[in-house]
Structure 1
Amino acid sequence: MDERNGAGAGRMAAFALMALIWGLTWLPMKLASEVVPPIFLAATRFALAGLCYAALVRARGVPLGLEQPGRVVAASLLISTGCYGLVFWGVARSPTGLSAIVNLALLPIFVILVGALYGQEQITARRLGAIGLGIAGLVLLFSGRVGTAQDGALLGLGAVAAGTLSYAWGAVVSRPLMRTMHPLALAFWETSLGALGLVPVSLLVEGYDPARFAALADGRALLGLGVLVLGGSLCAFSIYLWLVRDWGAFRAGLYAFVSPIVAVGVGVAVAHEAFGWPEALGMGVMLAATALALTEGGRLPGDAA
C-alpha cells in the first residue's frame, strides 16, 4: 500500500511540475522574441529540440522508420510549422497569459471540430455547449481590446487561435501514427521537419539578418530557449507521455486547467500585463468550455473507448 501511495504521490508531483513548466513557458517565449524575431526563435527552438530527441532516440535504440511519410510530413507542418510559427508570432504581440488561455482552452474544442470532419469525433449536445462557451469566452477576451491601442494584441491573439487550430488539425492527422510509431520517434520527426518548415517561413516574413545568430547569446534568448527546449519539449512532454501511459489522456490532459492560471499569474506579476474583468470573465468561460470538452464520459476527445 505504501509503495502504491508513493507511486501515486510521484505521479501527482510530476503532473504538478508538468503543468507548472507549461504555464511558465509563455513569458520566456515573449522575452526571447524581444531579442530575435519570433518565427526565427521557433525554428531555433525546434531545431535544438530535434537534436535532443535524436540523441534520446539513439540512446534508447528507437527505430526511426516511416511507414506513412506523407502523413508524418503533413502532421509536422501543421503541428510544428503552422502552429508554432503563428503562436510565437502572436505571443510577441499579445499578453502571455491571455495567449495561454486562448491556446489551451481552444485546443480540445478544435480537436472535436476537426476530428468530426475526419470522422473521428461526434458532435454531441455537450460538445456543442463547449463550442458555444468557447466562442463566448473568446468574444469576452477580445472585447476589451477592440478599438483600443492594443489592436496589435488583438491580432496576436487571433494568430494564437489560428495556430491552435493548426495544431488540432495536425493532432487529428497524426493520430493513426501514434498506433504504429514510438512516441520519441514521432516527436523527433515532427520537431525536425517542423523546424525545416519554419526556416523558409521566417525568411519570407522576417527576412535574413546574420546578426540574429549572435543575438541568440543574449540572456533573454538563452532563457527562452532553455525553458522551451529543456523544460517544455524534453521535461514536460516526457512527463506527459509517462502520465498518458499510466493515467490515460483524460487525467493527463487536465493540465489545461492549471497551466493558463500559471501563465496569467506570471504575466501579471512579472510583466505587469493588464488583466481586468473582461479577461477574468473570458478566462472563466473558456475554462468552463474546456471542462465540458474534457470531461465527457471521463475521456479526452478522440480517446479510445
Structure 2
Amino acid sequence: MNKRGWVLFALMSVIWGIPYLMIKVVVDGGVSVPVLVFARTAVGAVVLLPLALRGGRLRGLHRYWKPLVGFAALEIVVPWWLLSDAELVLTSSMTGLLIAASPIISLLVARLIGSGERIGAGRWAGLAVGIAGVAVLAAPELRGGSPWAVAEVLLAAVCYAIAPIIAARGLADVPALPVTAVCLGLAALVYTPPAVLTWPDAMPDGQVLAALAGLALVCTALGFLVFFALIREVGTSRALVFTYVNPAVAVAAGVALLGEPLTWPIVVSFGLILVGSVLATAGRSGDAPPSGKPAAVPSAQV
C-alpha cells in the first residue's frame, strides 16, 4: 500500500472509530435517537447527493429500488437506531467492541444462507474465539440488567452482516457513491416524522451540538467520501481491514475523553474478538481491483 493509501487508511480508522463516542455525547445530552439519526442522514445526503448527480450517476437507479430500500433499511435505518438507543445504557467503548463482532456474524449469516463459502478448521476456530470474546464482554451487562442494550448492538451487527449480501446480489452493477447518497436520503425521509415529534424544546449545549455536527459532517459525509477514495486506492478487501482498528479507536476515545473504565474484561474481549475476526475472515476472496465501482457496496458499520 502506498503513502496515500496509508493516509486514507489512518483517516478511516479514526473517522469510523469515533462515532460511538459522539453518539454517547449526543444521547447523554438529551437529544432523541430520531433527531440524532435524522441529522446524520440528512446532512450526509445533502453533501453526497450533489456529487452523485454529476455525470448523471443517478440515472436509471429507480430500476434498483427494491435492493436500495433493503440495503438502506439494514445498513442505516435500523442499525443506526439500535446503536444510538443502546448507548443510552452502554458505554461507547463497549458498543464499539460489540459491533466489532460483525465480521464473525457475517460469516455465520453467509453460512446459514448457503453462500457456498467453505469454512475450514481455522475459520471455525476464529468463530469460536470471537464468540468467546463477545461472551466475556457481554456477560457483566447481561447480569447487570442491560440485556436489551447488548441485544440491540448484536442485532445491529446482524443488519451489517446481511446488508452487503443484498448489495452484492442486487446492487453490484451500481457505483457506491449514488447508492450511499440515495440510501442516506431515504433514511432521512423515514426519520423526518419522528424527529419532528421529538425535537428538543431547548437548544442543546455546545458540546452536544459539536458532537452532532461531527457525526453528520465527519463520520457520515466525509467518512463515506474517504471510504470510496480508499477503495479506489487499495481495493475493497484491503480497505475493509480498517474495521479491525476501529474497536481500539472506540475504546481509546471512550476512556480518554469520557472517562469510561478500561477493565480487564474489555481488554481480554478486545483481543479475543480481534483474533477471532482475523481468523474467521482469513482466506476470503482477494482484493477487487481498485476502481470507483467496487463489486458490491461494503458495509459501513458505524
**TM bracket (short chain):** 0.7 to 0.9
CA distance in 1 between counterparts of 2:285 and 2:25 reads: 37
How far apart are 1:41 and its partner, in Å?
0.8
**AA at the equivalent of 2:172:** R
1:189 matched residue in structure 2 = 182
CA deviations 1:131-172 (Å, max 9, x no partner) are 222211111001233433xx23x4323211111111221221
Q: What secondary structure is seen at the aligned counterpart in 1 of 2:137? A: helix
Among 188, 194, 197, which residue is 1:208 paired with? Answer: 197
CA distance in 2 between counterparts of 1:181 and 1:62 reads: 9
Among 120, 125, 130, which residue is 1:129 paired with? Answer: 125
1:19 aligns with 2:5: no
TM-score, with length taken from structure 1: 0.84
* Contact 1:91/1:160, CA 8 A, preserved across alignment: no
CA deviations 1:168-225 (Å, max 9, x no partner) are 212211223442212111001211112333456x47xxx934435x53x532332223
1:266 matched residue in structure 2 = 253
Identify the range of structure 1 (51-60 vs 16-25) with the bigger mean alpha-carbon deviation: 51-60
CA deviations 1:99-119 (Å, max 9, x no partner) are 11111x221122222233444
* Contact 2:70/2:163, CA 8 A, preserved across alignment: yes
1:223 matched residue in structure 2 = 210
CA distance in 2 between counterparts of 1:68 and 1:115 reads: 23
CA distance in 2 between counterparts of 1:99 and 1:134 reads: 15
2:298 matched residue in structure 1 = none
CA distance 1:219–1:61, shift in 2 (3 Å)? farther
Q: What secondary structure is seen at the aligned counterpart in 2 of 1:122? A: coil
CA deviations 1:35-79 (Å, max 9, x no partner) are 311233112211221122112223454224222211111111111
CA distance in 2 between counterparts of 1:299 and 1:274 reads: 38
1:175 aligns with 2:168: yes
TM-score, with length taken from structure 2: 0.85
Percent of residue pairs bearing the same amino acid type: 24
CA RMSD of aligned residues (A): 2.5
**AA at the equivalent of 1:182:** P
Gaps of 5+ in 1: 1-6
* Contact 1:85/1:198, CA 8 A, preserved across alignment: no
Identify the range of structure 1 (13-22 vs 106-115) with the bigger mean alpha-carbon deviation: 106-115
CA distance in 2 between counterparts of 1:253 and 1:49 reads: 21
**AA at the equivalent of 2:129:** L
Among 88, 91, 98, which residue is 1:95 paired with? Answer: 91
